[in-house]
Amino acid sequence: MAHRKKCLLKIIIVGDSGTGKTSLMQQFVNKKFTNQYKATIGADFLTKEVMIDDKLVTMQIWDTAGQERFQSLGMAFYRGADACVLVYDITDSKTFAGLKPWKDEFLIQAAPNDPDNFPFMVLGNKSDKENDRRVKKSQAENFCKEINNCCFFETSAKLSTNVSQAFQKIAKAAIKQAASNNDGVDMGDVFGDGAGTIKLNAPAKNSSSDSCAC
Ligand SMILES: Nc1nc2c(ncn2[C@@H]2O[C@H](COP(=O)(O)OP(=O)(O)OP(=O)(O)O)[C@@H](O)[C@H]2O)c(=O)[nH]1
Ligand SMILES: [Mg+2]
């Protein structure tokens, strides 16, 4: 009987305060949503096991503080990340303008081996508030083209729109990153060789027809 190797993916969620980072993580992991806002202090993570291409993968999802005064832990925990989710609020242009600084700071702090190919994903949250929209979808799509054609979803943590789809996608992108990093994560079973070795340049197992990079 084939033994199952562990695969742990570290995924960091960043973005301005109030965009819905905590809500997205809570919706994805616990299927819960609250209208009450409680600022995240420092950072916190939850784990969730997901099946990716028939393999069991543990996602360690780090929810971070958007408010600067609550970024007490610094950003040292960005190190070793396999993917980064950039969140803005479709009803607030300022949060969209904040994406680039968040991305740049992430790359400085996380210092990945290959920053040009690091897997990012952009989420335009609060898509249930269409009447209050301030950021066009096309603006976000153009921004994503500049980040190595990264994946983009509009999500609603409130209605659970596109939430699990987005996290599944970023997990797939993170698997590719972890494998190419050769960072000690045992990816053997993820790529199905059963031997516990990391396959560099493993072929991308992306069955989706989307044009984004992940
Ligand atoms: N309508 C709507 N409200 C949302 C959605 N996601 C989050 N909210 C609300 O937006 C507010 C902020 O959400 P949080 O998830 O706490 O935001 P955050 O990004 O974690 O904020 P910080 O922890 O300060 O960085 C809360 O009142 C949520 O209920 C959504 O998809 N739709
Ligand atoms: Mg929060």
The CATH fold assigned to 6-199 is: Rossmann fold (3.40.50)
The pLDDT of residue 200 is: 30
Of all protein residues, the one whose alpha carbon is nearest to atom 2 of ligand 1 is 126
C-alpha of residue 126 to centroid of ligand 1, in Å:
8
What mean pLDDT value characterizes the chain? 85
CB 92 within 8 A of CB 99: no
Q: What is the band of 203 on the pLDDT scale with cuts at 50, 70, 90?
A: very low
C-alpha of residue 6 to centroid of ligand 2, in Å:
29
The pLDDT of residue 1 is: 43
Q: Read off the pLDDT of residues 59-73 as tens digits, 9 standing for 90 and up.
A: 999 999 999 988 877
Q: Read off the pLDDT of residues 180-201 as tens digits, 9 standing for 90 and up.
A: 765 544 444 333 333 322 233 3
Q: What is the band of 159 on the pLDDT scale with cuts at 50, 70, 90?
A: very high
Q: Read off the pLDDT of residues 119-134 as tens digits, 9 standing for 90 and up.
A: 999 999 999 999 999 9
The pLDDT of residue 198 is: 29
The pLDDT of residue 99 is: 98
Q: How many CA atoms lie within 13 A of 158 on its CB side?
A: 12
The pLDDT of residue 213 is: 61
Q: Read off the pLDDT of residues 69-118 as tens digits, 9 standing for 90 and up.
A: 888 777 888 999 999 999 999 999 999 999 999 999 999 999 999 999 99
Pocket lining for ligand 1, CB < 6 angstroms: 17-23, 34-35, 37, 39-40, 65-67, 125-126, 128-129, 156-158
Closest by CA to 118, choosing from 180, 208, 189, is 180
pTM > 0.75: yes or no: yes
The pLDDT of residue 6 is: 64
The mean per-residue pLDDT over the stretch 139-151 comes to 96
Residue 80: exposure state from Cβ atoms within 10 A (0-12, 13-18, ≥19): middle
Atom of ligand 1 nearest to the CA of 159: 31
Q: Where are the domains of the chain?
A: 6-199
More confident residue, 180 or 54: 54
Atom of ligand 1 nearest to the CA of 125: 31
Beta strands in 35-180 (DSSP E): 43-52, 55-64, 83-89, 120-125, 151-154
